[in-house]
Structure 1
């Protein structure tokens, strides 16, 4: 991958993770001092497009073998999923003892079942919306996981194996996840265009500027009003999150926002495709690029650890929502803790990948041995 594109993806990834943190920090649960940061979902759309681009890249370069691909994807996800699912119940337990009122809106029933469902990435399948206690951001991991499975099967398998795996994955994921996949696939399209098109710098600069302006407009009240009108035109003004068919009710979640999500995804994809030719000949100082890559190495931890840490630290520091100093201190403590947690988790992703590769290889050898004995 070209260095300019790679650095831009790291910048976008870290910015998106910080946006999600600030979105939750400035919400009414923890804050009455600062204006809320409303772009949490928009940041997740950026993550989806980045993910599609990166997966298309690794499948086209270093992960063309099925075992390598599966172990790499599992290692990447579970390097943080496993620690997050272990830490979240502990933090919630002690945080709830310190400040029970702070946790009054956190559903805490069937804890073990919630953890197991999220461990299997089934938390958003069909009518499920099963958050692991205070760790709400886990919802997007289910989307990512099943996109890895479907696209990996489509790319690396063939014949009936491909069809069966894709069918089973779609059935397990459910329509809410699968119908949102076009947003993720925009990242795949961006990668294909990045490889096959050679834009003149002036054209790339214009398109890059247009995508940036489009993203900025999207974030404004004007942009949201236009997109709401678009959704009204498509869905007839109905904003129900449920769809009834044959006496069965299907939970749609944020699926009615799909047209707006696709539009934003196109803008992000355009920026990714055009950044390389637009920035041709421009080289940031080494310390800037090194800093960006260093910070980007903690984005997954920042995303998956920040929510339970917000609750736990706020509960134990006796947060004063009306105090700008108190809210800022909470944000800084959460950021630093997430950053520290990245060292034994996602920054050790190579070890996790090696573990899963050994596990898959052992299972494969056992299966082959079993088949040989059965002949």
Structure 2
């Protein structure tokens, strides 16, 4: 989520101009995830790979920081109770997760009928389909049961991380007394080692939401910080430092595996040490954005917000559409074919958002009915 991926929440405690910068970051990150995957699947030319950016991996880490930042900010300004927090998170996540996985399944079944060899690596996923859907709607694809993504929805892995972070944050925020520590420890145990490894990146966003108000930068200093972040990122990649940290990550996984007496793959957390550097650089960039004092034109701000509100759907569905494009042979159609694929992804994103993200109130109403007894008997939590 996407990054939830900072899942499109609006926070009154976040300055409106910073909110536009965050939305723009979400849109750009989603596009670079798309670009990285399009190159990997050979639907986009290798010339667009920008491999030194490692766009897909680094963009997801930015999503994690954004998500922690926005969730913490919105929760702090709307103190409510645990049931209200759960209602907001459940309706937001399932309004996309349910229709997205059903759509992915339909796309995959259609693609398999056209080009079974394209889907050969996913063949085992289409056995016991309803059991797999239930597993992934419970976000168990990155835990103790092993690592598996639903069908061709490979970006879904990050949602299986974020939902556990939402749960941990809710426990820490709403449980009081000694029970807080016990409940938090239980969640940490249940989430499993792979999900745990990226928790610091998400929690960095939570910490940033509290630290930001204490920072003071002039617009000139903020611009200098933003440029420094960009320069530091380029140096991190071009100097080979990221490659060195990749090797250190592999050594870390090997050491963990040795301690456990079995191989430790890291799940989808394959670059944990360079990911930490990317998270810190992006957090610093958010600080810079908060102090630039750039006045966005109203029309541009609306356009950015409109795109950002659909970025979650775009993120979850794009990989499956790219696989389908490959099954159809579009990856051999040149630049016009590449442009057509992107246009198709955007079109399907709009359709998915129309039945998912844009209908979030219906999911909220359904979950409100399920949580009605809890909502009725729990008093509001006092404001902090």
Instruction: Report the TM-score, using the length of structure 2 for normalisation.
Output: 0.86
Aligned residues: 360
Distance 2:123 2:93 in 1: 24
Give SS of 2:354's match.
coil
Determine if contact 1:56/1:191 at 8 Å carries over to the other structure. Answer: yes
**Deviation of 1:70 (Å):** 0.6
Q: Which has the larger radius of gyration?
A: 1
Corresponding residue number in structure 1 for 2:371: 360
Determine if contact 1:75/1:349 at 8 Å carries over to the other structure. Answer: yes
Corresponding residue number in structure 2 for 1:370: none
1:229 counterpart = 2:244: yes
Corresponding residue number in structure 2 for 1:35: 48
1:192 counterpart = 2:210: yes
1:118 counterpart = 2:136: yes
Distance 1:217 1:355 in 2: 49
Distance 1:3 1:212 in 2: 23
**Deviation of 1:104 (Å):** 2.2
1:261 counterpart = 2:275: yes
**Deviation of 1:271 (Å):** 1.0
**Deviation of 1:171 (Å):** 2.2
Determine if contact 2:62/2:282 at 8 Å carries over to the other structure. Answer: yes
1:87 counterpart = 2:103: yes
Determine if contact 1:243/1:252 at 8 Å carries over to the other structure. Answer: no
Determine if contact 1:241/1:252 at 8 Å carries over to the other structure. Answer: no
Corresponding residue number in structure 2 for 1:52: 68
**Deviation of 1:202 (Å):** 3.2
Q: Deviations over 1:35-87 (max 9, x none)?
A: 32531111100100000100110111125421111110111111100111212
Corresponding residue number in structure 2 for 1:152: 170
Q: Deviations over 1:189-224 (max 9, x none)?
A: 221121222223333232222123223444x4x15x
| One of 169, 172, 175 as aligned partner of 2:187 | 169
Deviates more, 1:257-266 or 1:234-243: 234-243
| One of 219, 229, 244 as aligned partner of 2:258 | 244
Determine if contact 1:114/1:131 at 8 Å carries over to the other structure. Answer: no
Corresponding residue number in structure 1 for 2:92: 76
Give SS of 2:271's match.
helix
1:61–1:246 Cα change, 3 Å: closer
Give SS of 1:133's match.
coil
Determine if contact 1:33/1:323 at 8 Å carries over to the other structure. Answer: no
Corresponding residue number in structure 1 for 2:117: 101
**Deviation of 1:144 (Å):** 0.4
1:364–1:62 Cα change, 3 Å: closer
1:285 counterpart = 2:320: no
Corresponding residue number in structure 2 for 1:131: 149
1:61 counterpart = 2:73: no
Corresponding residue number in structure 2 for 1:21: 34
1:30–1:208 Cα change, 3 Å: closer
Deviates more, 1:144-153 or 1:207-216: 207-216
**Deviation of 1:245 (Å):** 3.1
Query: RMSD of the alignment, in Å?
Result: 2.5
Distance 1:341 1:154 in 2: 33
Instruction: Report the TM-score, using the length of structure 1 for normalisation.
Output: 0.88
Corresponding residue number in structure 2 for 1:351: 362
Deviates more, 1:43-52 or 1:108-117: 108-117
Corresponding residue number in structure 2 for 1:371: none
**Deviation of 1:242 (Å):** 6.9
Deviates more, 1:27-36 or 1:254-263: 27-36
Corresponding residue number in structure 2 for 1:327: 338
**Deviation of 1:160 (Å):** 4.0
Give SS of 2:143's match.
coil
Distance 1:193 1:107 in 2: 47
Distance 2:260 2:226 in 1: 47
Gapped runs of 5+ residues in structure 1?
368-375
Corresponding residue number in structure 2 for 1:297: 309
